[in-house]
Amino acid sequence: MRYLPLTPTDRTEMLAVIGASSVDDLFVDVPAAARRSGLVDLPMHEGEMEVEHDLRLLAAQNRAGWQGPFFCGAGAYRHHVPASVDHIIQRSEFLTSYTPYQPEIAQGTLQYLFEFQTQVAALTGMDVANASMYDGSTAAAEAVMMATRVTRRKKAVLSGGVHPHYVGTIHTMASVAGVDVVAQAFAVDGEAAVIAAIDADTACVVVQTPNVFGTATDVTKIAEAAQAAGALLVVVVTEVVSLGLLKSPGSMGADIVVAEGQSIGNALNFGGPYVGLFATREKYVRQMPGRLCGETVDADGRRGFVLTLSTREQHIRRDKATSNICTNSGLCALAFTIHMSLLGEKGLRQLAALNHSKARQLATALGQIPGVEILTPRFFNEFAIRLPHAAQGVVEALVRMGIIGGVPFSRIGAGMDNVLLVAATETTSEKDITLFARDLKGALTQFNADTNGEAA
């Protein structure tokens, strides 16, 4: 077996050094009833060529984004990732390194984490950011938990624009901790409606901009209302490229910003691994979850970086920790940092402007189709449309025409069966838009005819 270096001779000689007659002697503590002498019922080992072939066959059963017009968003976005990003993250010294427990021989990892934290703080407009979370949704749940620690209150109010999967994740994690999660009914443009629900028990309000329907919102008034009541404002961003065009949550008064960072540096990967961004104000730093990288000096006075403030963490505080998190999303954070370094402020602004422009072009094209209504009043690169038929069926019809036509809201949330979420990015061509508009129009015409036929 190609990954196992020991030879039969090695094994025999090593057993002699140990003083055991067979490897079974080393498993002597396993209760006899649980010892398995035979092999489990699974296939035998395969060569590299065979395994690659098997997996290629499975991959071929999926329709990849590049194969045709593609308009899915809803929390994961198809962007171009420069080739150098994937090259660097596959360097042995990054790919095959472990958590930087020994800073003297992990400065590569620690320095990029410090760069990552600085980039995330700048992007979100916040004072400090951590070294990443699993993804945006778990970061959002951790933000709610952090708000309950800061305020010593036990209620979270979620706007009707928060991604339904994020609502589900927050609900699952927070409710067991005794937090009362109040999720408002899904609404295309309802972030400000959380204001009316803030009371003296509210630890935080959670809003999303652009929200799951694509609506961008100035949250300044929400921040003021929350803070006036002693609550924190948590702002969720699922499309981090938007921060190259839209006002930062920090500048609008957010107390905690969590974001899905996948769009920068990371492929769609059918949902993971992604990278959660988590940023807050300086005064709350000791209540943050997750790993933090800080600057210091070595014994010779040279600048270096270490994991720090670990007295918040599980390996020190055990059951008193701010979170149970151990692993973060290091390699995805590295991809984010490299891509962001390639973009810079100039490139990020261009990228964001281009995304926005493509979405406007898409909205113009789709808005001209009879029966299609654009629901989102102000959007970045994604918006919701209402169709005259259930979006699920329409999307399936579009697949047969070679188009991945967006995410039906019913796929992630209840109600709004006719609502379709569509996104455009820099990868969307004008031809993609033309084809989508043509085929959506055609599909709706067919659906109309079928419906009328049934009615008759």
- Residue list 88-147, contact with another protein (CB under 8 A): 88-109, 111-115, 117-119, 121-123, 128-129, 131-132, 134-138, 145
Check residue 353 for interaction with another protein (CB under 8 A). yes
CA 276/CA 264 separation, integer angstroms: 11
Contacting residue, 241, 292, 366, 437, with another protein by CB under 8 A: 292
Task: Report the distance separating Cα 271 and Cα 45, nearest Å.
Answer: 29
Of residues 366-405, which lie at the interface with another protein (CB under 8 A)? 378, 395-396, 399, 404
Structure tokens at 176: 């067991």
Among 5, 431, 454, 455, which residue sits at the site for another protein (rule: CB under 8 A)?
5
Min CB(299)–another protein separation in Å: 4
In the stretch 179-208, what mask flags binding to another protein with x, by CB under 8 A? ------------------------------
The answer to whether 119 touches 272, Cβ cutoff 8 Å, is no
Q: Considering beta carbons, is residue 199 or 415 the nearer one to another protein?
A: 415
Residue 291 engages another protein in binding (rule: CB under 8 A):
yes
User: Residues touching another protein: how many (CB under 8 A)?
Assistant: 204
Is 45 a binding residue for another protein by CB under 8 A? The answer is yes
**Distance in angstroms (rounded) separating the CA atoms of residues 71 and 406:** 5
Question: What binding mask, one character per residue, do residues 313-342 give for another protein by CB under 8 A, x or -?
Answer: xxxxxxxxx-xxxxxxxxxx-x---x-xxx
User: CB-wise, 324 or 446, nearer to another protein?
Assistant: 324
Interface with another protein includes 436 (CB under 8 A)?
no
Contact 237, 266 (CB under 8 A): no
- Binder to another protein among 191, 239, 426, 439 (CB under 8 A)? 426
Q: Is 203 exposed, middle or buried (0-12, 13-18, 19+ CB in 10 A)?
A: buried
Map tokens 């508009």 to a residue. 437
Buried b (16+ CB within 10 A) or exposed e, 97-132: eeebeebeebbebbbbbbbbbebbbbbbbbebbbbb
Of the candidate spans 75-83, 147-155, 185-193, 367-375, the one that interacts with another protein by CB under 8 A turns out to be: 75-83
Q: Is there a contact between 127 and 121 (Cβ–Cβ < 8 Å)?
A: yes
